[in-house]
Amino acid sequence: MKRSLLLCLLMSAGLSNVALADANLARSKNCMACHAVGNKVLGPSFKDIAAKYKGQKGVEDKLAQKITKGGSGTWGAVPMPANTQVSDAEAKQLVQWIMTLN
């Protein structure tokens, strides 16, 4: 009993560390200049993005590509510029984080 409780605590600590690490990645890659988790800034909120694409197949690749290459027309007229400072792997990591925010 004690042991599984400890395991549980360790696991949730580990999970929240991952979430924090990805929030920091988003900050360090300048995403938060145009996005926020819970409200629209220049770009849509990350929660709205998670809600829009929830359960869709292949969404990770599609959104990761949009992050690195930029694009427009999905949320309005304002384009997202290419984020060339973000690698493909980082873009995927960011999308995975965003999809947990819903």
73 touching ligand HEC, by CB under 6 A:
yes
Phi, psi of 80 (to 5 degrees): -95, 120
CB nearer ligand HEC, residue 9 or residue 72: 72
Q: Is 35 labelled a binding residue?
A: yes
The one-letter amino acid code at 39 reads N
CB nearer ligand HEC, residue 8 or residue 79: 79
How far apart CA 46 and CA 75 sit, in angstroms, is: 12
Residue 70: partners with Cβ closer than 8 Å, 6 or more residues away: 79, 80, 81, 82, 83
Stretch 10-39: interaction string toward ligand HEC, x if CB under 6 A:
----------------x--xxx-xxx----
CA of residue 11 relative to chain centroid, distance:
21
99 touching ligand HEC, by CB under 6 A:
no
Q: Note the residues at the interface with ligand HEC (CB under 6 A).
A: 26, 29-31, 33-35, 42-44, 49, 63, 66-67, 71-76, 78, 80-81, 83, 86, 94, 98
